[in-house]
A = this chain, B = another copy of it.
Amino acid sequence: MNSKRLGEVGEFKIIEKIREKFLKGSGVEVGIGDDTAVLKVSNSKLLVTVDMLVEGVHFLPSISPADLGWKSLAVSLSDISAMGGKPLFSLLSLSLPSHLPEKWLDDFLAGWRELAELFGVSLVGGDLTKGERIIVDSIVLGEAEKPVLRSGARVGDRIYLTGSIGDSSAGLHCLERGLDYPNLIRKHLRPMPRVKEGIRIGESGKVHSMIDISDGLVGDLAHICEESGVGAVIYSDKLPLSADLLTFCREQALSAKEFALFGGEDYELLLTAEADLAEFFEFPLYEIGEIREGGGIFLHDNGEEKPIERRGFDHFR
């Protein structure tokens, strides 16, 4: 490796380089390089989210820096989309081992930027410090006139997904076991947040509640049910499963439904609304179930209905 280590370059030089690379976007009065960022915001409501990714907990040490850069922004963009909002600005807090080559950080930022440029998100600040483990804290600010909350689900609402689920956790399974299913692995490493769909949903005013699939379908639907004081039923045969997931599960003798129900990090949007919603948008929506009275989540499978135990990922267990 020709590149210097971060410890040889030094904090201020690194920040100076980042500042030169990331020009100020629209609405950014002061970006990197002062005590705070200064942002011009309109009168609508401001959305703010933060997601911390820790080496060994959220990602394998072997992840490529470009994939990590992409993913760390994707998870936060997805939160903004889950409110029906438009992402605008981002800040990045990084704790990095000083022995990392400078090229590592260049590649990380290149991956981050590749996604940011798709949606016009500006890097406006952050923090940089040394630490034994790689830790990325991704902050994204956005706006929405009418944010779509978790708490708005109504009895009788249909439950929709913006795309197939289970692929990301199957991809992680492959990475951990050295299995070669590149499409699934890519879904895990480079999830595509539903930014445009989120904006359209927010503008439409037709969606009662929404969340993104980060903990897994059952875990995330449980958040909606708890916040809304309702229950839900999912139809097992309506779950959108990709051809890649079905092939992988057939070949590996695994259950695609298990990945779809409990696997996290697909970053599809899960929403509830009236029955005719799918006709309203130009992008596909998959109807997978219904909101009902009472608590709990039930799975309708082979003519039978059973309660599902929540098995979402808990970061402290």
Contact = CB atoms under 8 A, between A and B. Distances in A.
Interface of A: 6-7, 9-12, 14, 29-30, 33-41, 43, 45-52, 54, 56-58, 79-80, 82-83, 85, 89, 91, 93-95, 98, 124-133, 135, 137, 139, 141-142, 144, 147, 149-151, 210-212, 227, 314-317
B48 A36 contact: yes
Contacts of A79: 35-36
A125 B50 contact: yes
Given A43-B43, A54-B129, A137-B137, A227 B316 contact: no
B316 A125 contact: no
Contacts of A316: 6-7, 9-11, 14, 98, 128, 130
A98 to B, nearest CB: 5
A126 B46 CA distance: 15
A81 to B, nearest CB: 8
A151 B30 CA distance: 11
A45 B50 contact: no
Contact of A129 (B52, B127, B139): B52
A271 B259 CA distance: 57
A147 to B, nearest CB: 5
Contact of A315 (B11, B35, B41, B45): B11
Complex A-B, nearest 7 residue pairs according to Cβ-Cβ distance, in ascending order: A35-B82, A36-B49, A36-B47, A137-B137, A39-B46, A35-B79, A52-B93
